[in-house]
Amino acid sequence: MYPIANIAETRTLESRVVESGVPVQALMERAGTELASTLHAWARARQVATGPVVVLAGPGNNGGDGLICARRLHDAWERVYVYLWNRSDQEDSLIADLKHRQVQIVHAEQDEGMFVLTRWLRHSSWCVDALLGTGANRPLPADLVAILDEVRGHQPRLRLCSADLPAGALSGTGVDGAAVPADLTIMLGTFKSEVCRDGRLPNLGSIEVVDIGLFPEGSRDTDAQGLRAADLDWLLPRRSNYSHKGTFGRVLCAVGSGRFPGAAILAAAGVLRSGAGLVTVAGSRPVLAGLAAGLPEATHLPLPDQGGTVESGAAALFLKEVSRYESLLVGCGIGHTDASAAFLRELLIGLRDTHPIPLVIDADGLNCLASEADWPSLLPAGTVLTPHLAEMARLCGLPLSEVAANSLELAAAKAQAWGCHVVLKSHASFAAAPDGQVRVLVEPNSALATGGTGDVLAGLLAGLRTRVADPLQASAAAILVLSEAGRLSGTRLGPDSTLASDVLQDVPRVFTQHPR
């Protein structure tokens, strides 16, 4: 995992390191070195050219990071050009180092008509934006806008790497219209949480977070942590050969309806693909009839229904069975009707008062929940809610635009206020715990933008909860497994044609790639 903090918190971390005796120059040296090595590694992994490179260096430490990056790239035998904006070279040892190496350097104010910049960009493969970083949240000045417009004119042939943040990424309440979208953003020390607001993420391209020494060895002193695929190596539970189906947990699911029969199959299959030993689907007879053909491994608990939707009296029958299970899943495709809302209410009251069993609520279960007056009081301890943005808006009573603009902060705040775990699903996923801890996955993938993938995620999470005691760890593992399976499916089939059932088929590949 990597640390997530806002800009003010990151500056506090930097000040703490400097006060401990580490020179600012040492932090910059490490930052510039990481910029160069990460750019090289990213390009080589994708088999694209690593140079020549134009480095745009602005004032302050971000520009200094860029100058050190330029030196490191030059020393690695790349052709490098340095274009200075609003930065004096008087008594600047970083510029002196580059001049000593005979690196070509031009000041923007001396390049009338930007003829030099245009020529350099035309003959380069990369441009490094070390102009502002986190140092400006106001509209960009006209001369900088002109430079960025020139860079944009050479995309997509020219790739852009941003140091910490692209220039203009933090302008006002969104992204400055002059900002140039990056192919790669290398964040220094921490992932800056501000980029999760107001539609800024799409402007950053691929994101890498590099360690520049802001934390003591072995510590990551932030409540929010970012997830990487490699984290599955320790997030997923171990599996012993000396076991039976009961060893790996039993999950009871109230899912599906006459209108959404496939939700039951996808959710129950997600449970089994997570490694759970047994899944029972409680539902109407039409749902169970389809399940018998679509997922023969599932067992059934018929519930009384009206027109394919469970009736409120079905909760009593469900509650009689829950003591045999280690985890529960409720909501996928049950419909949002008076009967399903009454079923959920009776079920939650029974679970809260007598059955402390891990519970995941998804989809229509969340819509039914939102119609209750004081619904947080109904939740058993350790409940996990898995809303997408629209469902979160209903739960919060907020406009969808406000939820989309402040997803990270909102997920964290509501998990604490509601006393439950929240997995908020969007182009980034946010798993938030009542104690303020948050896990964030920023791996946008349009292959997952298809009906049913939320049911698969809910099933994976409910299945993992049988073997992972910590709801936050189980949530983090589930969103990572779904993300990686979606990546594999999108690569195999193309994102346009990937179905939720295709993603299910790739879940086993994710587990085999991360043996425990």
- Judgement on whether residues 200 and 257 belong to the same structural domain of the protein: no
Q: Which residue's structure tokens are 């939820």?
A: 403
Average the pLDDT over 291-314 and give the result: 92
pLDDT higher than 80, residue 4 = yes
- Judgement on whether residues 208 and 308 belong to the same structural domain of the protein: no
SS3 313: coil
| Reported confidence tier of residue 255, pLDDT bands at 50, 70, 90 | very high
CA distance 479 to 409: 18
**427 annotated to bind ligand:** yes
**263 annotated to bind ligand:** yes
pLDDT value at residue 272: 98
- Domain ends where: 169, 186, 221? 221
Q: Which residue's structure tokens are 């109230």?
A: 254
- Judgement on whether residues 203 and 310 belong to the same structural domain of the protein: no
CATH classification of the domain holding 478: 3.40.1190.20
**135 annotated to bind ligand:** yes
pLDDT value at residue 45: 95
- 261-290 pLDDT, tens digit per residue, is 999 999 999 999 999 999 999 999 999 999
CA distance 176 to 179: 5
Give the whole-number percent of the chain exceeding pLDDT 90.
Answer: 88
Average the pLDDT over 220-238 and give the result: 93
pLDDT higher than 70, residue 174 = no
Residue 431 lies in a domain: yes
Residue 242 lies in a domain: no
Closest by CA position to 299, among listed 271, 341, 339, 330: 271
CA dihedral 145, 148, 153, 154 (to 10 degrees): 170
pLDDT value at residue 220: 62
- Judgement on whether residues 181 and 265 belong to the same structural domain of the protein: no
- Judgement on whether residues 80 and 153 belong to the same structural domain of the protein: yes
Closest by CA position to 220, among listed 440, 475, 443: 440
* 331 CB-near residues (< 8 Å, 6+ apart): 254, 255, 344, 361, 362, 363, 364, 365, 366, 368, 458
- Judgement on whether residues 197 and 314 belong to the same structural domain of the protein: no
**388 annotated to bind ligand:** yes
**249 annotated to bind ligand:** no
8 Å CB contact between 340 and 364: yes
Q: How far is CA 52 from CA 115, 122, 158, in A?
A: 18, 10, 10
**63 annotated to bind ligand:** yes
Bond into 52 cis (ω within 30): yes
Rounded to 5°, angle at Cα 414 from 409 and 420? 130
CA distance 33 to 38: 8
**454 annotated to bind ligand:** yes
Number of domains in the chain: 2
- Judgement on whether residues 75 and 127 belong to the same structural domain of the protein: yes
- 414-429 pLDDT, tens digit per residue, is 999 999 999 999 999 9
Residue 206 lies in a domain: yes
- Judgement on whether residues 214 and 264 belong to the same structural domain of the protein: no
pLDDT higher than 90, residue 205 = yes
**134 annotated to bind ligand:** yes
pLDDT value at residue 198: 74
CA distance 145 to 259: 53
**501 annotated to bind ligand:** no
**Cα-Cα-Cα-Cα dihedral sign, residues 129, 27, 442, 493:** positive
Residue 100, CA atoms < 13 Å, CB-side half-sphere: 8
Q: Taking each helix axis from N to C terminus, what angle separates 500-513 and 453-465, rounded to the nearest 10 degrees?
A: 40
- Judgement on whether residues 145 and 268 belong to the same structural domain of the protein: no
Residue 345 lies in a domain: yes
**129 annotated to bind ligand:** yes
**333 annotated to bind ligand:** yes
CA distance 289 to 298: 12
Residue 338 lies in a domain: yes
**133 annotated to bind ligand:** yes
CATH classification of the domain holding 30: 3.40.50.10260
SS3 166: coil
pLDDT value at residue 138: 78
Residue 477 lies in a domain: yes
**241 annotated to bind ligand:** no
- 451-506 pLDDT, tens digit per residue, is 999 999 999 999 999 999 999 999 999 999 999 999 999 999 999 999 999 999 99
Residue 226 lies in a domain: no
pLDDT higher than 90, residue 308 = no
Q: Taking each helix axis from N to C terminus, what angle separates 261-273 and 500-513, rounded to the nearest 10 degrees?
A: 10
CA distance 430 to 409: 10
- Domain ends where: 186, 221, 256? 221
**Cα-Cα-Cα-Cα dihedral sign, residues 147, 152, 153, 155:** positive
**136 annotated to bind ligand:** yes
- Judgement on whether residues 348 and 475 belong to the same structural domain of the protein: yes
SS3 209: strand
- Judgement on whether residues 10 and 79 belong to the same structural domain of the protein: yes
**453 annotated to bind ligand:** no
Residue 145 lies in a domain: yes
| Reported confidence tier of residue 172, pLDDT bands at 50, 70, 90 | low
Average pLDDT, the chain: 94
- 86-145 pLDDT, tens digit per residue, is 998 777 899 999 999 999 999 999 999 999 999 999 999 999 999 999 987 778 999 999
Residue 452, CA atoms < 13 Å, CB-side half-sphere: 19
- Judgement on whether residues 158 and 211 belong to the same structural domain of the protein: yes
**428 annotated to bind ligand:** yes
| Reported confidence tier of residue 218, pLDDT bands at 50, 70, 90 | low
pLDDT value at residue 219: 62
CA distance 487 to 483: 6
The residue segments making up the domain with residue 333 are 232-236+247-513
**101 annotated to bind ligand:** no
SS3 130: strand
* 78 CB-near residues (< 8 Å, 6+ apart): 50, 51, 52, 53
pLDDT value at residue 245: 87
Structure tokens at 364: 């229509």
